Amino acid sequence: MPHLISLGMGKIHHTNAGIRENKTFSVNILSQDQMVEMDYVGLVSGGKTDKSGVFDTFFGELKTAPIIQNCPLSMECRLYDSYELKTHDVFIGEIVATYADEDVLSDGKVDLKKVKPLLFDMASKKYWSLGPAVGNCWSVGKQYKNPK
């Protein structure tokens, strides 16, 4: 089974047409240090403003999905499936390559604390990042006691 990732984007975005045409996309996890640039590309329309100079990019294995050069963590994806909803498109991508800066790795694995990922919350219209880890997956649930 391939490693998959999904993302949803409003139909108004120019990126959607590029994903459908090329059958590829990238997912770039920017850090808190890149908040101003990230917010800018979300503020202006690609139909009215050339945003190509905001970030330096490169192309990986698939040759058609631009990847942000100074991004701490990026995934290059081949389109696996897509779904059209009323106002949004959902794209599911097969991750074919992952790019991570050396300084965000611990023991050869991505350390999210070092990435300092910038997270967007539509409800509060705020950017957030992660706090400390609060538990171990597939472990903490073993403490559950059924009250019945």
- CATH number at 90 reads 2.30.110.10
In a domain, 136, yes or no: yes
Q: What's phi and psi for 99, nearest 5 deg?
A: -120, 125
Strand locations in 3-114, DSSP E? 4-10, 24-29, 57-59, 66-68, 73-84, 88-100, 105-106, 109-110
Range of the domain at 42: 4-143
User: Above 90 in pLDDT, residue 117?
Assistant: yes
In a domain, 127, yes or no: yes
The gap from C-alpha 9 to its chain's centroid, in whole angstroms, comes to 12
Which pLDDT value is given to residue 55? 97
In a domain, 148, yes or no: no
In a domain, 55, yes or no: yes
In a domain, 104, yes or no: yes
pLDDT 10s digits, 62-105: 999 999 999 999 999 999 999 999 999 999 999 999 999 999 99
In a domain, 26, yes or no: yes
In a domain, 123, yes or no: yes
pLDDT band at 58 (very low <50, low <70, confident <90, very high): very high
User: Above 90 in pLDDT, residue 147?
Assistant: no
In a domain, 135, yes or no: yes
The pair of structure tokens assigned to 126 is 């705020």
Provide the percentage of residues in the chain whose pLDDT is more than 90: 85
Span 104-109, average pLDDT: 96
For residues 117 and 31, give the distance between their C-alpha atoms in angstroms, rounded to a whole number: 5
Residue type, 132: P
For residues 9 and 88, give the distance between their C-alpha atoms in angstroms, rounded to a whole number: 5
Q: How many domains does the chain have?
A: 1
